[in-house]
């Protein structure tokens, strides 16, 4: 049978392991610095996979602020060694599966945040490349109703929003103020709080042009930070999620016994900070909401950026003005 040249055998898919090349295109940097350290490597090594990993042919990726901060050297003490192919978020197709992989197979369309711990030894070979190696447990099947570009915009941000709400003990009937409601994390936190957790009231902050967007995502109250100081308003909340870095003001509007979750910047008691853990089971849990469109990825309308435009995409992200996610697609 091995020598068979029969043409009646099942169609060979393009996802066949044997077709994975030895080299690939990848964005990489070999020193920390500003966007100018990013270079397109036309012949980077395709990463090997461990037994618990799959190799993903990347279709789309997304940027997060952590990619820019890491590139700037802010986390060098706990970073993986240089050179670095950046990128946490991926959506693509499994082309190879390690020996211990049970739930995924070649041809599966998947998405996820490829680094379990964002700051502790994140992967050296990230998602801004044609291929990336990822532990099966960090991935989930892509919701069928979403394209690769949309799916790529979800993992790190939605996992952060979810973990923040969980750590805050958020539940149905509670109120929440989300600082930075129009960003990657905030846009998903609004939707999760309102449509998944059943918040009694969701308030969020943004600048004037983004207030309608906050409402469309599910905010009951949209606060224009260019016109009002949220900390001077009379309302108090069960939970405050700070995705801006306003920890000192955030603690002023939480109810007695409430929780203040701080993603960046100063932490003032009772506020607390955490660093997101990647977990494919969170994506699986949210799948019905994503599939039905109750929770929607928000892709910044300036994108998706072409793979050749990664430097421009980084500098746009670093303006701090992105609406939802800065997505790179197709790759
Ligand atoms: P984004 O780059 O997506 O945030 C951009 C958004 O922030 C814009 O829409 C902007 O709206 C809004 N914004 C900026 N300043 C303000 C302000 N003063 N008040 C209200 N909104 C404002 O960032 P992410 O959502 O991806 O991440 C947010 C922060 O959280 C980052 O610092 C990131 O590093 C951190 N983070 C931490 C994690 C952790 O595990 N600890 C995980 C994920 C993120 P406008 O244009 O209207 O100002």
Average pLDDT over residues 157-172: 98
The answer, yes or no, to whether ipTM is higher than 0.95 is: yes
Sign (positive/negative) of CA torsion 96, 98, 99, 103? negative
Please give the Cα distance from 121 to 61 (Å, whole number): 20
Pocket test for ligand 1, best of 69, 186, 224 (most atoms within 8 A of CB): 186
Examine the pLDDT at 166 and tell me if it is beyond 50. Answer: yes
Residue bearing the CA closest to ligand 1, atom 36: 263
pLDDT grade, residue 19 (50/70/90)? confident
Q: Which of 148, 80, 70 is nearest to 314 (CA)?
A: 70
For residue 96 and ligand 1, the question of a CB distance below 6 A is answered with no
Determine the atom of ligand 1 nearest the C-alpha atom of 245. 32
Q: Which of 125, 132, 124, 111 is nearest to 57 (CA)?
A: 132
What is the DSSP track for 37-96?
A: G-EEEEEEEPPP--TTEEEEEEEEEEE-HHHHHHHTTTTGGGSPPSSBB---EEEEEEEE
Contact 204, 176 (CB under 8 A): no
Q: Give the pLDDT of residue 18.
A: 58
pLDDT at site 300: 98
pLDDT over threshold 70, residue 6? no
Give the mean model confidence (pLDDT) for residues 323-328. Answer: 98
Confidence of residue 17 (pLDDT cuts 50, 70, 90): very low
Q: Is the pLDDT of residue 140 over 90?
A: yes
pLDDT tens-place string over residues 181-236: 999 999 999 999 999 999 999 999 999 999 999 999 999 999 999 999 999 999 99
| Closest atom of ligand 1 relative to the 274 alpha carbon | 41
Q: Is the CB of 205 under 6 A from ligand 1?
A: yes
Express as a percent the part of the chain with pLDDT over 70.
95
Burial (Cβ within 10 Å: 0-12, 13-18, ≥19) of residue 132: buried
> Over the stretch 52-83, which tens digit does the pLDDT of each residue have?
999 999 999 999 999 999 999 999 999 999 99
């Amino acid at each position: 049978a091995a020598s068979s040249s029969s043409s009646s055998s099942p169609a060979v898919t393009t996802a066949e392991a044997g077709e994975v090349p030895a080299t690939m295109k990848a964005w990489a940097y070999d020193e920390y610095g500003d966007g100018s350290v990013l270079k397109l490597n036309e012949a980077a090594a395709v990463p090997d996979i461990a037994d618990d990993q799959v190799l993903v042919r990347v279709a789309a990726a997304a940027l997060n602020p952590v990619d820019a901060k890491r590139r700037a050297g802010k986390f060098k003490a706990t970073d993986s060694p240089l050179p670095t192919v950046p990128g946490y978020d991926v959506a693509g197709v499994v082309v190879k599966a390690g020996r211990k992989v049970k739930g995924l197979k070649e041809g599966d369309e998947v998405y996820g945040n490829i680094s379990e711990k964002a700051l502790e030894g994140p992967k050296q070979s990230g998602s801004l490349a044609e291929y990336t190696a990822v532990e099966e447990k960090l991935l989930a099947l892509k919701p069928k109703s979403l394209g690769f570009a949309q799916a790529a915009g979800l993992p790190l941000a939605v996992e952060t929003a979810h973990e923040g709400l969980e750590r805050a003990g958020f539940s149905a009937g509670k109120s929440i103020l989300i600082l930075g409601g129009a960003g990657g994390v905030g846009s998903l936190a609004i939707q999760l709080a309102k449509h998944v957790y059943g918040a009694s009231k969701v308030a969020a902050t943004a600048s004037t042009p983004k207030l309608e967007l906050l409402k469309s995502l599910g905010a009951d109250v949209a606060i224009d930070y260019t016109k009002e100081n949220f900390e001077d308003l009379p309302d108090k909340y069960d939970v405050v999620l700070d995705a801006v870095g306003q920890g000192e003001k955030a603690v002023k509007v939480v109810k007695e016994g409430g929780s203040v979750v701080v993603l960046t910047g100063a932490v003032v008691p009772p506020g607390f900070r955490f660093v997101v853990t990647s977990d494919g089971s969170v994506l699986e849990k949210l799948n019905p909401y994503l599939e039905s469109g109750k929770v929607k990825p928000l892709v910044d309308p300036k994108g998706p950026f072409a793979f050749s435009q990664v430097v421009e995409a980084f500098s746009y992200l670093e303006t701090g003005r992105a609406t939802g996610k800065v997505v790179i697609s197709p790759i």
